[in-house]
A and B are shown apart, each in its own frame.
Chain A
Amino acid sequence: MSEKSLGTNRRRSIGAALAALWGRLWHRPLEIQPAKKIAIVGNPNVGKSLVFNRLTGLYVTVSNYPGTTVEVFRGRTYIGNLLCEIVDTPGLYSLLVSSEEEKVARRLLMDETPDIVVHIVDAKNLERMLPLTLQLIEAGFRVVLTLNMMDEAQRLGLEVNAVTLSAHLGVPVVEVVATDGRGIPTLRRVLYEILSSDSASRSV
């Protein structure tokens, strides 16, 4: 299946243009390579594309209808001072894949070994979606569990204790409402903390 690159968001591409100009002037190429790769995975229709849009400032079609993303979308954004490539994947129910879309998502995880896997789940259906979180952790990925649709969960009277859940799973748990962007700054901060501690430990 084909891939689409959506480029960096505009503010950053001015930066890229300046970098190119710098390279021209001083005969020193200053190609900016994304330092880190973040993959967004989860069941169909849990808001992966919306989180992708929120993180990158780009736009991929989002709909309240399962299975809309059949391709892999890529975009770039800065998390703190780190240029990251964000990858939006088709829906994945389990690492034991059965449909073509799921195969695409798994192949991407295996071949590209992302620095962070952001697992988006529907907070209302946590029990049904946690098995994939368990599998992702089991597979050795650095997982950030993102509980989306917290507003709807709250309206149904559901309360999730993110701290306890995080302690049990051993991975960060972030609560967001992707439709209006609540919680996205927290998600960015959590991503940054992981990525920056990672580069610090690597340079040692």
Chain B
Amino acid sequence: MKSSAATAPLVQYDPSLENLIAQVESLLTADYGLSKRSLALLIIQEDPEIWQLVFQKEPETTQGKIRRLLQSAGRGGERSPLYRIVTARQRLSEALCRQCVRQRAPTLPTLSQQISDLLINPLYGSIFLALLLYFAFYQFVGVFAAGTVVEFLEDTLFGEYLLPPIIRFFQWLIPWSILQDLFVGEYGLITLGVRYALALLLPIVTAFFLVFSLVEDSGYFPRLALLVDRLFKKIGLSGRAVIPMVLGFGCDTMATMVTRILETRRERMIAIFLLALAVPCSAQLGVLMATVSKIPFGIAIWAFFVSLMFLTVGFLSSRILPGEPPRFYLEVVPLRLPRLENVLAKTLSRLQWYLWEVTPLFLLASFLIWLGQLTHIFDLIIAVLSYPVAWIGLPSSLAPVILFGFFRRDYGAAGLLDMVEKGVIGGKDLVVTAIVLTLFVPCIANFLMMVREQGWKTGVLMTVLIFTLAFFTGWVASHLITWTRLIPA
């Protein structure tokens, strides 16, 4: 160890504790990467991992000796060692702060504090959330990026300028029409893969990440989590069921891994299931929202069904898993004015990550579809898929979109947006398909993470259940929309 404890230790504990520390220290012989004093304290606080280390590194008798020491020390009937240790440190910290920190002005609630209070107020907070969703997400991401920009890129840039010469070039370069199809066919690498990534997804995701990073850096999200938590409690949904949603906002795959902080296997299973079913991650949320923004009230109907699904499953799981949240720290960070340079850097890094993630997959999908068309497996899959598609009242031309959705939710959404641009499907079909896609397993990475965390059997079973639920919800939505005539056909 670097600095030996030759000088007096910084934190002095009470005499009986110091005595115990000295005795435990004297029993330790191995090197742990921490000072003996620190290690002794952790042992006294009965840290399981440290106990295991001691078991591995010290002679067999040591553990028994330590245990006897702790037992005899514990007989005093005083407060627990853990409590005494924490208190001693806390007292010293307080003393240090009294000496070194001065409060100049009395703390009046600052403007940022007042805004913060408004944001977590159920009424004003909800109004702000609605305004934020409407202007930043619906108008900017949905109408501007997914409408104006995508139309320009897809119809004008790709449709009129880029694709025709590229197609002619490949037709000139490759004489065989089968190979031509691989690059510039209906599902070609360039005509579908590259076009989806660059003309459809790039503008939407850029706009979305820009807004998302801006909102994130302002410190709004922890307040949103608090607000949602309050709203959920009002309708009887509480505790652990809220956690997965907050985590999955960023990335479902990551959140699936982070469910390890939940304590029981059952809790983790439900959290992972909810994440894969009803929590769209940030990137996919942007694309899906942008797609349904194409028709009036589309976003409202879509949001209604997706939240209904989430609430139902969440409500049921909170019935199965009642109880207070475990250690769910959510520090409410101060509201800050986001710095443009940080927001841009973050947006760029997310964009880079996103494009790296989706482009290879799109190209692979194009290749697989080409292979499938050659072997007629593709037609077979489409034929099989058109049964559930027809069952939920959708035209069979949407079967490929559903197939895309198996790869990734947003890949399916891109296909959907493409069909809307071409004007081949109606408003009801758009919203119903978007609902079904949203409830799909987010992406292959997420599926693999489910398998890694829960094993093959559970992972596959969950996936099958999720797809079934997605189709079922689509069926309900489709019939409800037709029955209520919410969207003119």
Contacts and interface: CB of A to CB of B under 8 A. Distances in A.
Interface in A17-55: 44-45
B331 A66 contact: yes
Given A64-B216, A70-B254, A180-B339, A99 B261 contact: yes
A7 B7 CA distance: 39
Nearest to A173: B100
A99 B327 contact: yes
B254 to A, nearest CB: 7
Contacts of B346: 61-63
A152 interface: yes
Most buried by B among A44, A142, A152, A157: A157
Interface in B320-347: 327, 329-331, 333-334, 336, 339, 342, 345-346
Interface string A134-160: 110111111000000000100111111
Interface stretch (A8-16, A75-83, A90-98, A184-192): A90-98
A45 to B, nearest CB: 6
How many residues of B sit at the interface, in one of the four size bands? 35 or more
Contacts of A95: 34, 38, 42
B26 interface: no
A31 B382 CA distance: 56
Contacts of B41: 138
B331 A168 contact: no
Contact of B102 (A112, A139, A161): A161
B14 interface: no
B218 interface: yes
A115 B89 CA distance: 24
Contacts of A115: 2
A70 B105 contact: no
A65 B216 contact: yes
Interface string A90-121: 00000111111101001001111101000000
Contacts of A179: 336, 339, 342
B33 A110 contact: yes
Contacts of B345: 59
A203 interface: no
Nearest to B345: A59
Nearest to A53: B345
B300 interface: no
A127 interface: yes
Contacts of B327: 98-99
B10 A170 contact: yes
A183 to B, nearest CB: 16
How many residues of A sit at the interface, in one of the four size bands? 35 or more
Contacts of B49: 97, 103, 106
A44 B339 contact: no
A138 B93 contact: no
B261 A164 contact: no
Contacts of B484: none
A145 B102 CA distance: 18
B336 A64 contact: yes
B193 to A, nearest CB: 27
Contact of B93 (A45, A101, A131, A157): A131
Contacts of B101: 126-127, 158-161
A139 B35 contact: yes
Contacts of B42: 95-96
Given A126-B97, A158-B102, A161-B102, A61 B47 contact: no
A141 B37 CA distance: 12
Nearest to B89: A131
Contacts of A152: 334, 336
Contacts of A112: 33
Nearest to A65: B221
Interface in B396-418: none
B376 interface: no
Contacts of A99: 261, 327
Interface in B41-56: 41-42, 45, 47, 49
Nearest to B35: A140
Given A44-B331, A140-B3, A66 B222 contact: yes
Most buried by A among B35, B47, B331: B331
Contacts of B3: 140, 142
Interface of A: 1, 44-45, 59, 61-68, 70, 95-101, 103, 106, 109-113, 115, 124, 126-128, 130-131, 134-135, 137-142, 152, 155-162, 164-165, 168-170, 179-180
9 contacts: A44-B329, A61-B349, A64-B219, A99-B327, A110-B34, A126-B101, A135-B89, A139-B37, A139-B38
